[in-house]
Structure 1
Amino acid sequence: MIRRRLCIVLVAVLALVLSACGGGGSSSGTTEIAVWHGYQDTEGEVFTSLIEQYNAEHPEVKINDLYSSNDLVLQKVLTAVRGGSAPDVAYMFGSWSPNIAQIPQVVDMADEVSQEDWNWDDFYPAERQAATVGDKIVGVPALVDNLAIVYNKTLFAEAGIAPPTPEWTWDDFRSAAAKLTDPSTGQYGWLIPADGSEDTVWHYLPMLWEAGGDILSPDNKSAVFNSEAGVEALTVLQQMAVTDKSLYLDTTNENGPKLMNSGKVAMLITGPWDLSQLSDIDYGVQVMPTFAGSSGGHQTIAGPDNWVIFDNGDEKKQAAIDFVKWLSAPEQVKTFSLGTGDLPIRASVGKDQEVLTTLNDNVPGTATFVENLSNVEKVRPTVEQYPEISDALGQAIVAVMLGKDEPAAALNTAAEAADAALAGK
């Protein structure tokens, strides 16, 4: 099941968020800052240790952290803002940026991060893009990831197929998947989420970009995914699912690691979050294939998330900014990445050989995902209507993979729905 950060929520109550928030320090003279996050287990432990370090080094501030499910935090934040009790900092999905930008109490970080000591350009481009809505910067990167091929080395060897290489095209990928499929044993070459959710769309978008296409027009006013490039990308999925029958359609979106561990699936296109679950097989990681003849290259997709700061008065706002600045500085990024196995959010840390070696020693293949961040060239459009666009596109992709529609027709239908959403119809 795809990581929690892929959830997309359409919020219709943003217009209600108009009330001002209270602020100020505590009566003890210590400024208390409330930080909402969804970290649990190892991530939670490492994050708690960083907060303890910050509190010890900054006695004038006390950071109080509160666990809040990432999937529910936007609605919770909206409720809190209306009641005048917003947190000072909240971990929020990057896909929510257009919604977040409408909340008056959200601090626009554009002037802040333009200061030299933030080294804003050290954050990966996709992270910066996902935090930007128009001329606003609504958050500071908290997490980044991407998709790559994860493959079962043993199954490849048994089938006499050379492992994936950076030179692989989608034709190579399709050919290998067909050879790795055995109906008599229920073995498939590749598994893809097929529930029509954003996870389904997430797997299609890199293919669309690699083929030379895009989701929306440059002005974000109309869908363009029903282009020749869009059809070419979706046709590959149709060929593998309908013609070759080498593609396992995971309609529950829960079976990827389980089926790969059992040897029933030879390849996943997934992120670093699944690697620790593949304890029963010898796996490798490789970048996405390319489309022969296309200039799109080995593109992938990232799901950056943000630390969002709320204005609860000048004193608390500044303390919150200072904490997020410290938390996202290279030293703390390195500590968090090495402690959790998460990809570093700064390019300078991602180039640190000690970090790459340690991450890869702890969870083999992680270094490839770090290096693959250089292949993240585009992000999902930061428009409020994206959830509706995603839903229409997800349904089109599934219809084609199930053999119920043709790529061009399905994408045209989805584009009409997307255009209607963008036009407010």
Structure 2
Amino acid sequence: MTATSLAVAGCGTDANGGGSSSTGSASSTIQIWEGYTDTEAKEFAHLVSEYEAQHPGQKVDTLFVNNDDTLQKVLTAVKGGSPPDIAYLYGSWAPNVAQIPQVVNLTQVVQKSGVNWNDFYVGERDVASVNGKVIGIPALVDNLAVVYNKKLFAKAGLALPTANWTWQDFANDAQKLTDSSVKQYGTAYVTPGTEDTVWHWESLLWEAGGSLLTADNKQAAFNSAAGLQSLQTLQTMAVTDKSMYLDPTDSAYGNLFNSGKIGMLVTGPWDLGSFPNVDYGVQVMPSYPGTSAGHQTISGPDNWVVFNNGSGQVSAAEQFLLWLTAPAQVKAFSLATGDLPTRQSVADASGFDTQMNKMLPGVSTFISNLGNVKQARPQIATYPQVSKVLGNMVVSVLLGKATPQAALASAASQVNAALAAGS
């Protein structure tokens, strides 16, 4: 009820927070491709209907497209001359999306009075921008933190994690939480070798003070002391202590955590609703003492992207997106779905985190953790090739097939070759 009333209350405002706007009041219909399901789909449909009610003559047609398939479908539609007006696209695709001629440059749009572009978190803005050009408006934001089982910590006689903990603390706790006799592990790591494998490691690299690539994105930079430290952390748990459950399915870990067989997970807010059987807590990622990097995390923001189907369509699409991503609608969507707010002003609003926690316990830590998103993955078209190499590197260490030193050296060589070929 709260979310619904907020959505209704928010729908009379335009991007400037003023009364309802009928800018470009000529009738128009825009088409949006989105991949929402369940609660998200219901709330998005509700917001669309409210927008149409507040903007007479403006129609929004939505088409469900599986998010994993959207880029390929968009490319096909562009070739056929029939792209949607707006599409929901993964942020990791941004460099490839930026190369599509029909993608609208939103740089001047987001600088309009009242949009408050800087209200979006820096991690979101970085992913929505390619070579200084804004190619999308943030549609979703998340991050990684540690979700832990309070009961298992108490059973092992361990103090609950604090915001000051280190990766050594994490490894020590993981070892003490492990009980091979009942197939209980201290922690887990996803090992399909995909980007999910990679981005969990990248946050450790950053916290150790390292960088993935050089500043010009021309060379690998991870074959460093920081790279070695980050991989050694994982090696200790996976190979030496055997306190880490390795999950090649990228899904089994959730059921194991929910059944009390894993003590801690590095995961995101999307998993919280999957743990009804666990009295869990959430804490920020550990840090490495002695570095200036401090506590960091990584985010995987997604974007709303506009395609050029003529000036009238573009104008109508921009108007809808600025309304949809204004604070009132961002707040309504988060309270209805549990998704993290894409705007800092919404996150900082009095009582907001309490409301979110009532719906999804512990999510407030993920909200505050957005402030620890200080870097983004390289915005280069060759990142998918880089990611594949890094995924194989991390898995080889976790499986004990390569030492961190050898894995780093081999991966750096392959990444340099991929970067050279792609330039």
* Aligned match of 1:407: 404
Q: Any stretches of 5+ residues in structure 1 without a counterpart?
A: 1-28
* Aligned match of 2:248: 251
Q: For residue 292 of structure 1, report the CA deviation from its aligned partner.
A: 1.7
* Aligned match of 1:281: 278
Q: For residue 135 of structure 1, report the CA deviation from its aligned partner.
A: 2.1
Q: For residue 327 of structure 1, report the CA deviation from its aligned partner.
A: 0.3
After the TM superposition, which residues 26-175 of structure 1 pair with which residues of structure 2 at under 5 Å, given as runs? 30-175=27-172
Residue aligned with 1:118, SS? coil
Letter in 2 for 1:396: M
Q: State how many pairs are aligned.
A: 398
Aligned-pair Cα RMSD in Å: 1.0
Residue aligned with 1:285, SS? strand
After the TM superposition, which residues 273-422 of structure 1 pair with which residues of structure 2 at under 5 Å, given as runs? 273-422=270-419
Letter in 2 for 1:422: L
* Aligned match of 1:265: 262
Q: For residue 30 of structure 1, report the CA deviation from its aligned partner.
A: 2.1
Deviation sequence 1:19-67 (CA, Å, 0-9, x none): xxxxxxxxxx621100110001000000000000001111121000111
Q: Distance in 1 between matches of 2:315 and 2:54?
A: 17
Q: Distance in 1 between matches of 2:367 and 2:323?
A: 22
Q: Distance in 2 between matches of 1:135 and 1:283?
A: 41
* Aligned match of 1:20: none
Query: Among residues 190, 200, 204, which one is paired with 2:197 in the alignment?
Result: 200
Q: For residue 112 of structure 1, report the CA deviation from its aligned partner.
A: 1.2
Residue aligned with 1:116, SS? coil
Deviation sequence 1:392-424 (CA, Å, 0-9, x none): 011011101111101011011111111111111
Letter in 2 for 1:152: N
Letter in 1 for 2:112: Q
Residue aligned with 2:196, SS? helix
Structure 1 residue runs of 4+, over 6 Å off?
none
* Aligned match of 1:177: 174
Q: For residue 354 of structure 1, report the CA deviation from its aligned partner.
A: 2.5
Query: Among residues 221, 225, 238, which one is paired with 1:224 in the alignment?
Result: 221
Q: For residue 365 of structure 1, report the CA deviation from its aligned partner.
A: 0.5
* Aligned match of 1:7: none
Q: For residue 294 of structure 1, report the CA deviation from its aligned partner.
A: 1.3
Q: For residue 116 of structure 1, report the CA deviation from its aligned partner.
A: 2.5
Q: Distance in 1 between matches of 2:188 and 2:359?
A: 26
Q: Distance in 2 between matches of 1:219 and 1:300?
A: 22
Q: Distance in 2 between matches of 1:44 and 1:353?
A: 27
Q: For residue 352 of structure 1, report the CA deviation from its aligned partner.
A: 1.4
Asked whether 1:241 is paired with 2:238, we answer: yes
Q: Distance in 2 between matches of 1:171 and 1:103?
A: 45
Residue aligned with 1:303, SS? coil
Q: Distance in 1 between matches of 2:44 and 2:371?
A: 26
* Aligned match of 1:11: none
Letter in 2 for 1:270: T
> Normalising to structure 1: TM-score of the pair?
0.93
> Normalising to structure 2: TM-score of the pair?
0.93
> Which range moves more in the overlay, 352-361 or 123-132?
352-361
Letter in 2 for 1:277: S
Q: For residue 110 of structure 1, report the CA deviation from its aligned partner.
A: 0.7
Q: Percent identical across equivalent pairs? A: 55
Letter in 2 for 1:113: V
Q: Distance in 1 between matches of 2:114 and 2:413?
A: 46
* Aligned match of 2:12: none
* Aligned match of 1:6: none
